[in-house]
Amino acid sequence: MEQEDDKQYSREAVFAGRRVSVVGSDARSRGRVPGYASSSLYRESGIISARQLALLQRMLPRLRLEQLFRCEWLQQRLARGLALGREEVRQILLCAAQDDDGWCAELGDRVNLAVPQSMIDWVLLPVYGWWESLLDQAIPGWRLSLVELETQSRQLRVKSEFWSRVAELEPEQAREELARVAKCQARTQEQVAELAGKLETASALAKSAWPNWQRGMATLLASGGLAGFEPIPEVLECLWQPLCRLDDDVGAADAVQAWLHERNLCQAQDHFYWQS
């Protein structure tokens, strides 16, 4: 492992220091979002700021921009609620300048697993989501649908506010549009409630199967150790061994990255390391 420079626990503490989409803690994909995600979804979810989107639209050809929105690296960040920073935008522009349609495969992140929040964002939550999906294969699809519905709900609120403001100028049209929006909002809220109920049931099952998960998160944030999670599910033992050796085994970070990549939980170009 390369040494380099560069409830029972608080939900606010877990997500401190990063932007999180509107989706609740039981509706996080923690993997990649399959299929095409539009610029509005990234924007509405807080993954790309308005200023960043304007810059990318100005600097990238349309084809490159469409490739970016489809790429697994960006969809992985969307699924985890991780907003782009200056370094990520710079990396996008550098990779997109290559004369190669496979440029998105060069995108990746450098992650110091000695930082508890990085351990949570890049390893523990994705792994928990993957493990949870073993209990019910429908869970990832429910999470994705909930992300889309929450985005749709925000867009409907914007439409409602717009037609409310212009009601005096176009009363008849505004009345029709407001009625249409209200109908869509009611249907969306019903779908959100249904999905949230399914995910709540799945979450309860997962908590009973791994009862020390929340205690482990609290211990990690307080002391930086992983002992609080134990005993862990048997299927995670091959990952847990190198995770617990990160601070004294130079190959452990590579083993963690390989395990995650094999299960599509990280990118080939992601680089994990430990520097306390």
Sequence-distant (≥ 6) Cβ neighbours of residue 52 within 8 angstroms:
84, 89
Q: Do residues 218 and 255 both lie within one domain?
A: yes
Q: Is residue 134 one of the residues assigned to a domain?
A: yes
Q: Do residues 131 and 240 both lie within one domain?
A: yes
Q: Do residues 145 and 244 both lie within one domain?
A: yes
Q: pLDDT tens-digit profile of 29-73?
A: 333 444 446 788 888 888 999 999 999 999 999 999 999 999 999
Q: Lowest mean pLDDT: which of 82-91, 146-155, 211-220, 258-267?
A: 146-155
Does this model's pTM top 0.95? My answer is: no
Confidence of residue 21 (pLDDT cuts 50, 70, 90): very low
Q: Do residues 176 and 263 both lie within one domain?
A: yes
pLDDT at 268 over 60: yes
Q: Do residues 229 and 135 both lie within one domain?
A: yes
pLDDT at 3 over 50: no
Q: Is residue 152 one of the residues assigned to a domain?
A: yes
Domain with residue 199: its CATH number is: 1.20.1270.190
Q: Is residue 19 one of the residues assigned to a domain?
A: no
The pLDDT score that the predictor gives to residue 86 is 95
- Using a 10 angstrom Cβ sphere, with 0-12 exposed, 13-18 middle and 19 or more buried, the burial of residue 248 is exposed
The pLDDT score that the predictor gives to residue 37 is 62
User: What is the number of domains present in the chain?
Assistant: 2
Q: Do residues 211 and 184 both lie within one domain?
A: yes
Q: Do residues 101 and 147 both lie within one domain?
A: no
Contact status, residue 218 vs residue 124, Cβ threshold 8 Å: no
Q: C-alpha distances in angstroms, 266 versus 81, 195, 259, 261?
A: 14, 26, 9, 5
CA distance 193 to 95: 41
Domain with residue 70: its CATH number is: 1.10.8.520
Q: pLDDT tens-digit profile of 111-153?
A: 999 999 999 999 999 999 999 988 888 888 898 898 889 889 9
The pLDDT score that the predictor gives to residue 15 is 32
Confidence of residue 12 (pLDDT cuts 50, 70, 90): very low
Token readout for 198 is: 């399914």
Q: Do residues 94 and 223 both lie within one domain?
A: no
Q: Is residue 92 one of the residues assigned to a domain?
A: yes
Q: Do residues 70 and 129 both lie within one domain?
A: no
Q: Is residue 147 one of the residues assigned to a domain?
A: yes
Average pLDDT over residues 217-236: 93
**Mean pLDDT score of the chain, rounded to an integer?**
85
Q: Which domain holds residue 167?
A: 125-271
Q: Do residues 76 and 140 both lie within one domain?
A: no
Confidence of residue 276 (pLDDT cuts 50, 70, 90): confident
Q: Do residues 132 and 257 both lie within one domain?
A: yes
Beta bridge partners of 110: 271
